[in-house]
Chains A and B, each alone.
Chain A
C-alpha cells in the first residue's frame, strides 16, 4: 500500500494558494492510499488547464496531453492495456467544452475509465473567460456586460446519465476525504465514471467561492429517507438540482458490461501483453483469403 509520502511529486504545485485543485490532488492521492493503488498501476491522462498539470505534482504515471482530448487518449490507453487503472483529470472548459462529445461517447461505451473534472465555472489558465458551466449572465472578458454569458450552462451530470454513464458523482474540493472516497469507488467501479468536482477558482471566480458552495452542498446519502443510487429517475433529478441546494455524492451507480468485456481479443491478455509478433504460418494462411 502506498503512503501519502510515496505519492509525493518532484515539484510543488504551481496553483494559486487556496485553489480547489490542491484539494483534488490530495483526494487523488488519498484514494490511491485507501484503495491500495501503486503509482505504476495507475495512468492519469490529463488535458490542458491549470488542473491538468496534476500528475506533475505527485508520483504517478501521467500523460499531459491536449485540450479536450484526454478522454479518447485515455480510452486508447485502456484498450491497449486494460490491466492499468486509467483516469482522466481535467477542467470544465476542457471536458464540457472542447471535449464534450468525447465524454458522451465514453459514457455510452462504458469504457472502464474514471474522469475527474475540476469544475470551477471559469477559464483560469487563460485568465478568466467564461466556461461552459458558467451561469447565464456571468460577466467575463469574453462575455462582457450588460448581457454576460448568454447561453444556458452545461449540466454535465445529467448529460452523462442520459449518455449511459454507469457511475455519476459530484464531489467538493473543500472535502478531500469525501472526494477521495468517491474517486476510490469510481476506480473500483467497472465502467465509465464521471466525477464532477466543485473546485473554486480563487482568482477568477468571485461568485462560486468555498463559502458559496459550503452554504449549498449536501450529501445525497444524508438526505431524509436515504438515497438509492441505482434509481435512474432520482439520479436525473439530482443531476439537475442546482441553486440553493447542490447535491454531492454518488448520484448513480449501476453494473453494465464494459466496452472491454465485449472484445474477444483482450479477454485473456491485454494488447500490450499480446505483443508484436504474429505467427508466420497463420499469416501465410491469410494470403489464401486473397486467392
Chain B
C-alpha cells in the first residue's frame, strides 16, 4: 500500500474557498511531519473560473509538484473534466454526490480505472453545519478520511483557522468535518491504496511561499521602507510587510502608482533607509526612468519583480520568465544594476537580505527577479533552512556620523575612486552637505557638461560593473558531474529541474543542472567553465526566446545547443523537463 507519497488536487471556482481550504489542509499534513509542495493555479477574476491547488505530500523533501494526481477534490464538473486525465488507475475523484457531471466524462473516468467517491458534502454542510459554505471543510475532511489521515490534525487546523470567528463557528465546522471524515473513511478508505501516516518525531516545519520567504529575508536584512502598488504576483510581499510594519519597525506605503513607489523608495534610500519596491513586470516597466535616476545618482534601492507573462497585462496570474533581458538593460544610458534570480524558497530568503547589501555596497539599484511559480508555491522547510546566522549586514562605503565628525577637508559625494565606489554620506550631517544629481555631474555633484567630467564620472560609475562582478556567485551545479547532458536554467526552474534529475538519473547518470542565480554582472568565467565540461547543453527556460541562452552567448560566446521552452503561462513540471531531455537525446 503506497504510503505518504501522493498528490491532492482541489479544483473549483474562485469564491468557493478553495484557496483557504487548501492552505489549511496542507498545513494540517505538514503538522503531521510530512513534506508538502503546494502549487496554485488561479485566474484573474474574483468569482467563477477554474482555480486549483495541487498539494503534493511526501515523506521526503520535495521541490516541485508532479503532474500525477491521486485524489481529485472536485467542487465543479469542470474540475473533473480538466483533471481526470492526470489521475492514474486506482486514483480517486471525491465530489459532492449531488454534483451533476456529464455521463461521457464519467465513462472516460471509468475507462481509466479511476474510482468515484461521492460524498454528501452539501448535505452534511447544510444539515450539520447549517451553511453550504462549509462544503470546503467537508471536502478536505473527506480527503483526510479517504487517506486515513488522523482526524486530530484536521481538528487542530479548524480550531486555529476559525478560532477568531468564535466558538460556534469552530464547533459547526468541527461537526461538519467529523461527519464527512467518517463518511469517507467508512465508505472508501478500505478500497483506496494511498494513505497518509504521521511521521513521529519529525521536526516542526514552516510552510511558506517564495513571496513570504523573500519578504522575511528583507526584514532580516534590515529593510525599513517598502512602497508598492498592488500587482499580481508581487503584491503579497507588500501586504506581508504592511502586516508586520508596526511590530518590526517598518514604514510600508501603498502608493498612487508604481512610479511613486520607486520614487519614494529612492528618496528613502537616499537618506539612508533600506528600501524595497515589490512589483511585477508591468509595474517595473513604469519604474524604469527612476531606475536610471538611482543609477545616475548612485542611490541604493531594491526592486523585487515577481515575473508574470507579458507583454502588457499579459496573463496576470500565471508563470513566465520573460523579463530577464529587460531587467539587464531597462532605462536609457549605461550604468550598473545588479540582478539576482533566486530559484528556491531558501534562495528567495537569502536574496531578501543580500540584495540590500549589494545595493548599499555598490550604491545602485538591485533587481531581484522572482516569478509567479516561486512567488505563489508553498513548500515545507525546516526552520534552519532560512539561516539567520548567515544574515550579514554590509553597507559598503557608508560613512558613519563618527567618521564624518572626524573628516578633514571637504566631502565629495561622487569622489573618483579606483573601484568606482565613492564614500557615501546621507543627508543630515553638517560636514556632508551635497547635491545628489540626476544630471551628469562632477565629483562634487555639480551639474557638468564638460567632456572631462562626463568621461570621468561615467567611467567611474561603470567601473562598479567589474567591482560588483566580484560579489557575484558562480552558478550552482546539481547532479552527477559525469552526466553527459547539462541543463541550464535560472530562477525557479531549478525546483522542477531537481525533481527531473531524480527521474533522469534513476538508472544511470544522464543529466546535471546548472542553476544561475546571480545574473548580472554575469559570472561569465564560472559559467563558461561549467559549460566547457558538458557534452550536450540544453537551456530550460519559461520563455519563448531563450533569454538566458542569449545572455550566455553574449557573455561567453558559447551557444547552448538545445532549448526546452515553455511560454504557455504554466510552470515547468519535472515530467515536462524529462520529456524534453528525452526528445533531445532520441532525436
B-binding residues in A (CB < 8 A): 10-11, 38-41, 43, 45, 48, 53, 55-56, 59-66, 69, 72-81, 83-84, 101-102, 105, 263-266, 271-272, 274-278, 280, 282-284, 286-287, 290-291
Q: Are A73 and B446 in contact (CB under 8 A)?
A: no
Q: Are A102 and B260 in contact (CB under 8 A)?
A: yes
Across the interface, A66 reaches (CB within 8 A) one of B255, B429, B430, B438, namely B438
Q: Are B434 and A61 in contact (CB under 8 A)?
A: yes
Which residues of the partner chain B approach A101 to less than 8 Å between Cβ atoms? Answer: 256-257
Q: Does B289 contact A (CB under 8 A)?
A: yes
Which residues of the partner chain B approach A66 to less than 8 Å between Cβ atoms? Answer: 263, 289-290, 293, 438
Q: Does B447 contact A (CB under 8 A)?
A: yes
A284-B388 in contact given A62-B436, A63-B435 (Cβ < 8 Å): yes
Minimal beta-carbon separation of B272 from chain A (angstroms): 4
Known: A265-B251, A291-B205. 18 other contacts (CB 8 A): A10-B446, A38-B430, A40-B427, A61-B428, A62-B434, A69-B293, A74-B267, A76-B225, A79-B225, A80-B251, A80-B268, A84-B427, A84-B428, A276-B221, A280-B389, A283-B219, A286-B244, A291-B207
What CA separation (Å) do A48 and B270 show in the bound complex? 18
Across the interface, A291 reaches (CB within 8 A) one of B206, B257, B447, namely B206
Chain A residue with minimal CB distance to B244? A286
Minimal beta-carbon separation of A166 from chain B (angstroms): 19
Which residues of the partner chain A approach B428 to less than 8 Å between Cβ atoms? Answer: 40-41, 61, 81, 83-84, 272
Which 8 pairs show the lowest CB-CB distances between chains A and B? Answer: A76-B267, A276-B222, A76-B264, A62-B435, A290-B206, A72-B263, A80-B268, A80-B273
Which residues of the partner chain A approach B270 to less than 8 Å between Cβ atoms? Answer: 63, 73, 76-77
Q: Does B196 contact A (CB under 8 A)?
A: no
Q: Are B436 and A77 in contact (CB under 8 A)?
A: no
Chain B window 255-287, contacts with chain A (Cβ cutoff 8 Å), 1 for yes, 0 for no:
111011101111111111111000000000000
Chain B window 416-434, contacts with chain A (Cβ cutoff 8 Å), 1 for yes, 0 for no:
0000000000111110111
15 A-B pairs with CB atoms under 8 Å apart are: A61-B428, A64-B435, A64-B437, A65-B263, A66-B438, A69-B260, A72-B255, A74-B267, A75-B260, A76-B269, A79-B264, A80-B251, A80-B272, A264-B246, A276-B221
Q: Does B110 contact A (CB under 8 A)?
A: no
Q: Are B245 and A265 in contact (CB under 8 A)?
A: yes
Q: Are B447 and A53 in contact (CB under 8 A)?
A: yes
Across the interface, A265 reaches (CB within 8 A) one of B249, B297, B434, B439, namely B249
Q: Are A274 and B290 in contact (CB under 8 A)?
A: no
Q: Are A265 and B433 in contact (CB under 8 A)?
A: no
Q: Are A276 and B274 in contact (CB under 8 A)?
A: yes
Q: Are B430 and A40 in contact (CB under 8 A)?
A: yes
Q: Are B251 and A73 in contact (CB under 8 A)?
A: no
Which residues of the partner chain B approach A264 to less than 8 Å between Cβ atoms? Answer: 246
* B interface secondary structure, majority: mixed
Minimal beta-carbon separation of A147 from chain B (angstroms): 31
Minimal beta-carbon separation of A126 from chain B (angstroms): 15
Which residues of the partner chain A approach B86 to less than 8 Å between Cβ atoms? Answer: none
Q: Does B37 contact A (CB under 8 A)?
A: no
Which residues of the partner chain B approach A272 to less than 8 Å between Cβ atoms? Answer: 224, 271-273, 426, 428
Minimal beta-carbon separation of A83 from chain B (angstroms): 8
What CA separation (Å) do A204 and B224 show in the bound complex? 45
Q: Are A56 and B447 in contact (CB under 8 A)?
A: yes
Q: Are B251 and A263 in contact (CB under 8 A)?
A: yes
A76-B227 in contact given A40-B430, A271-B268 (Cβ < 8 Å): yes
Chain A residue with minimal CB distance to B257? A101
Which residues of the partner chain A approach B436 to less than 8 Å between Cβ atoms? Answer: 62-64
Which residues of the partner chain B approach A74 to less than 8 Å between Cβ atoms? Answer: 267
Q: Does B220 contact A (CB under 8 A)?
A: yes
What CA separation (Å) do A157 and B291 show in the bound complex? 31
Q: Are B267 and A277 in contact (CB under 8 A)?
A: no
Minimal beta-carbon separation of B161 from chain A (angstroms): 14
Chain A residue with minimal CB distance to B212? A290
Which residues of the partner chain B approach A78 to less than 8 Å between Cβ atoms? Answer: 267
Which residues of the partner chain B approach A79 to less than 8 Å between Cβ atoms? Answer: 225, 251, 253, 264, 267-268
Q: Are A73 and B246 in contact (CB under 8 A)?
A: no
Q: Are B249 and A274 in contact (CB under 8 A)?
A: yes
A61-B433 in contact given A283-B219, A283-B388 (Cβ < 8 Å): yes
What CA separation (Å) do A62 and B268 show in the bound complex? 14
Q: Are A64 and B256 in contact (CB under 8 A)?
A: no
Q: Are A72 and B267 in contact (CB under 8 A)?
A: yes
